[in-house]
Structure 1
């Protein structure tokens, strides 16, 4: 089996493989037949030269406590049915991680259709992207704030929307920056990201927005899908929710992905929400030293801890390391000897993403100790849990 980067000559076969794997229709997006900047496509070929597997490295950046961390997010993994169970996915993802490491990536996220194979390759579950349905009539309605202006947005407003998204997300962990060649490519048409864009402004400055899909009909089963609703003030969030509430007469259901704890979600009656869909996502380091040094760290975090790490797929991560955190920065350096704390790469992923504490990781068997308490490794996960709002 040969694994290599795909060329434009391979893209027809890659499209057909993905269509069969994911049950797609005949309509083919233009991006699947051309080179796309910020994306590396990998393929696995059998002895006859037939494409039997594909995977895509998305050159994203993720926000981690105010700093951007280069990522190799993974999408479009597909293996031909006749080749499944023969190590095709392992070969592709090993090549993808090596290529991502060579280009300077530090971390990786993906949405699995089945988690177990990706666990075998070092990814571990870190969070869930939830889509919920709310009765539009249940949304609170507040008196409109006289100092705020609500209007429909146009493509000319998209730079301001991108800036507000960054204000909300840059101090979180795991969120995509939505900057770079890949996002520029898909935004090149200059159109709105959905059917509509609603803006809330204060003194001419954007303080809240919602992008939405109208859907069809106006009866009892009509749904308004809000792709995103974010605000930088409580007043703007209340105004935005009030605008969405006024769709109740023609769209009885509001569908959205809440961002836990943000200004908009705390205005929503989420206790009345029904889960529409949940997409589990997984995380792993591409390069543990880069993952630690590139991210932001809380100023109050301070400490030193030694640990061993095992990563059978990305062997450059394997070894004994010293983590030192101080003054809003951290460094991971190799040291000699053995450590009393020994992590599997999946345990590193759980701690780094704030998805579990060290004692819980030890109970999973992904952290082993020799005569010491594991709590010192909680230092690796300070800064709160990671989030994702983008599906890829």
Structure 2
């Protein structure tokens, strides 16, 4: 039987109870980090309270932005969802996520992503699996031992270099889909120290064109590993130089851990045939506001077309109804249509198409798109145009 709950933002004096609920759910350290029990700019913490006023669930709306083909799209990315053991399976998570979506809609968010520990509750609320963040291991000795091209300079990075690092990340990430912008209050870092053990920079004529941030780990025996926390290259030469630098660790760290970004300059020069999966984290996506999600992102300038579809969204009723999608000249709009359409899309189907994780015929085969016998689902491939999305920052 569902538990009647009230969902609202947590007050500062309720944060310790929320942390304790999360500690029990996720097996965290017995002492909270300072930020866990204090207000933090750039996020909204929600709690679900039963009829006696007890906290039985909590979730966090992270005020991120995602890059979508050159445009910043406001996101309500979700983290820290936890429900008290005695209240699980009774609708608390659904109520929490519904409250979070309403608050995110009111503050202007367009889309939402999350990393689930289990997918079923989130699928029931409209999110669906749109991709995988993979961490792989590579034998360091298998990396090509490239020397930097003569026109390049390599050096150790310092805290003063971090603005240039952020600018290069933006230049490489902005034309993709789904990557976080890494700006805003949640990405503020101390200005006097690096976020990792080391930062290797590649420059051309004094301009940064590649970097790798890494953590050394412990020891130098057969189990030692070098973990690349972040690596970006703006040119093939920069990628080769960075990989050559990582290869130089082969005598003391036999293993390299890295999250390859499909299709980027670094992945193009890694010996991925030697990679073995170390970790894999599914990520899920859903629209907060379908009209904003379509209007705020970028679209290919050559793309042109229109399609009408009806959308089902039980948790975000402002998304439900019939829409006409029109795309032209790098712009797109959803407008309301008063009558039902032959193509009836679930919100999960919308999420997968929007992220380029499926096409319309496959969505129909999965039961995420419903249509009359003989109708053609392919016009809805317009929503999927642009290619696959990627999420490269775990939260």
Shift of 1:181: 2.1
Per the alignment, residue 16 of structure 1 pairs with 20
Residues 159, 191 of structure 2: 8 Å contact kept: no
1:186-206, Cα deviation, whole Å (9 max, x unpaired):
x14642111111101111000
Residue 291 in structure 1 maps to residue 300 in structure 2: no
Residues 201-350 of structure 1 mapped to structure 2, 5 A cutoff: 201-350=203-352
Paired residue for 1:93? Answer: 97
Larger displacement relative to structure 2 (117-126 or 364-373)? 364-373
**2:91 aligned with 1:54:** no
TM-score (norm 1): 0.98
**For 1:55-114, what per-residue CA distance to the aligned partner results, in whole angstroms no more than 9, with x for missing partners?**
000000000000000000000000111110111101100000000000000000000000
**Per-residue deviation at 1:143?**
3.1
How many Å apart are 1:46 and its aligned residue?
1.8
Contiguous gaps of at least 5 residues in structure 2: none
> 2:239, 2:265 within 8 Å by CA — same for their partners in 1?
yes
SS state at 1:71 partner: strand
1:28 offset after TM fit, Å? 2.1
Distance 1:199 1:387 in 2: 24
Aligned partners of 1:372, 1:164: CA distance in 2, in Å? 46
How many residues are aligned here?
A: 390
Following superposition, the deviation at residue 252 of structure 1 comes to 0.4
- The secondary structure found in structure 1 opposite 2:238 is helix
Q: Give the TM-score of the pair, scaled to structure 2.
A: 0.97
Rounded Cα–Cα distance in structure 1 between residues aligned with 2:233 and 2:43: 31
Alignment of 1:79 with 2:104, yes or no, is no
- CA distance in structure 2 between the partners assigned to 1:109 and 1:270 by the alignment: 27
Cα deviation per residue 1:318-341 (whole Å; 9 max; x = unaligned)? 000000000000000001111011
State whether structure 2 residue 49 is matched by structure 1 residue 45. Answer: yes
Q: 2:200 aligns with which of 186, 198, 201?
A: 198
2:181 pairs with one of 177, 182, 199: 177
How far the C-alpha of 1:50 sits from its partner, in A, is: 1.8
> How far has the Cα of 1:30 moved from its partner?
1.6
C-alpha displacement of 1:167:
0.8
CA 1:44 to 1:68, structure 2 compared with 1: closer, same or farther past 3 Å? same
- 1:168 aligns to 2:172 (yes or no): yes
Report Cα offsets for 1:104-139 as digits up to 9, x if no partner: 000000000000110000001000000000000000
1:382 has 2:372 as partner: no
Cα distance in 1 for partners of 2:220, 2:32 equals: 30
* CA pair 9-321 structure 1, distance change in 2 beyond 3 A: same
Aligned-partner SS, 2:17: helix
- Runs of at least 4 residues of structure 1 off by over 2 A? 188-191
Superposed CA deviations along residues 167-199 of structure 1, whole A, max 9, x for unmatched, are: 111000000001112222xx1464211111110
Measure the CA separation in 2 of the matches of 1:46 and 1:340.
42
Aligned-pair CA distance for 1:145? 1.2
- Is there any run of 5+ residues in structure 1 with no aligned partner, and where? none
Checking the alignment, whether the CA contact within 8 Å between 2:324 and 2:334 is kept in structure 1 is yes
| Distance across 2 between alignment mates of 1:166 and 1:33 | 32
Contact 2:310–2:343 (CA under 8 A) maintained in structure 1 = yes
Q: Is 1:103 the equivalent of 2:75?
A: no
Q: CA RMSD in A?
A: 0.9
